[in-house]
Amino acid sequence: MGKTITIRPLCCGYMRVSESVPFGNDVSLKNSAHQILARDANRVVLPVYAFLIEHPQGRFLIDAGFPREMSPKGEYDSKAVSALLPKHLAQLYRPWVPRGMAVIEQLEALGLKPSDLDCVILTHFDPDHIGGLKSLKGAKRIIVAEDEYFWTCRTVYRARQPKHFYDGVPMEHYWFKGSDVGPNRWAYDVLGDGTIVLVNVPGHTDGMVSVLVTNGELLEHKHRFALLTSDAAFTPRNWREKITPGLGFDPKLQRRGLDWIAEQEKRQGCIAVLTSHDPDMKSEVITIDLA
Ligand SMILES: [Zn+2]
């Protein structure tokens, strides 16, 4: 590995969700009901991305997508989905994972085993982000924010985040520290050099992070970075048109998150802002030269 960082988007399947999941513009009972009951005509197909970051200091995987078990033949399989998700989530997501697209299969295609991953970073505990976690057994580290883990005790998350996807998986919890970045200025610098910074962007969940990947340069005119928003935004439309996703717990915080993302996109040195569910995203590898 040279003195560059690469970010490889990995499309790990799809979900057919109510339009109000990405563009509900409020978190309400009406939206929640629509998300579960919507007919196909009122649903949109969204991709589910994980990201592989190759860094001179190691390989980092951001999120794990849905697992193969949810879609044994590579198609939507309501029985297989219902075996892994409670009824309301099975209806909310209607997910499938085409053959070869589960995260572990994509790593294998790149010649990688879980033990080649230095760190798996979980942005939050929703099933479309951690469903494939158990297939990554053998990764050197798996990390999640203490705030994300702690707040799984809230009723809303118990309904959203089935425990069996992470139960029994050894995981390190980290604490956010005061930071110059992020809507509430809390972040965790994974390597201590500013090149991979997990920025707390609450609103979708309490402890969710967006991932800032930078060249580590502090001088503004030399600073280069890419931002992986996770579900602070589902697509660029969220921050460009100021529409909050309808899946979350606090629309005010979601709005602050979108404002922060919009600011980042305008900053000098911004190479890309990538979400986890953008149907128009090109799966191109992004390269950042280190300072
Ligand atoms: Zn998601």
User: Taking the model in full, what pTM does it have?
Assistant: 0.96
Band of residue 165 on the pLDDT scale cut at 50, 70, 90: very high
pLDDT of 28 higher than 90:
no
Helices marked H in the chain: 20-23, 29-37, 78-84, 87-93, 103-109, 127-130, 146-150, 155-160, 236-240, 251-266
Q: What DSSP state is assigned to residue 84?
A: H
CA of 220 to the centre of ligand 1 (A): 31
CA of 124 to the centre of ligand 1 (A): 9
Give the model confidence (pLDDT) of 102-137 as tens digits.
999 999 999 999 999 999 999 999 999 999 999 999
In this structure, what are the phi and psi dihedrals at residue 56, rounded to the nearest 5 degrees?
Answer: -50, -25
How far is residue 215's CA from residue 5's CA, in Å, rounded to a whole number?
A: 8
Give the model confidence (pLDDT) of 199-233 as tens digits.
999 999 999 999 999 999 988 899 999 999 999 99
How far is residue 123's CA from residue 233's CA, in Å, rounded to a whole number?
A: 13
- Over residues 21-26, mean pLDDT: 91
CA of 175 to the centre of ligand 1 (A): 22
In the block, residue with structure tokens 């809230």:
154
pLDDT of 2 higher than 80:
no
The answer to whether 134 and 163 are in contact (CB under 8 A) is: no
CA of 63 to the centre of ligand 1 (A): 10
pLDDT of 141 higher than 70:
yes
- In order of start, what are the domains of the chain with their CATH numbers? 4-282 (3.60.15.10)
In this structure, what are the phi and psi dihedrals at residue 230, rounded to the nearest 5 degrees?
Answer: 55, -140
CA of 194 to the centre of ligand 1 (A): 25
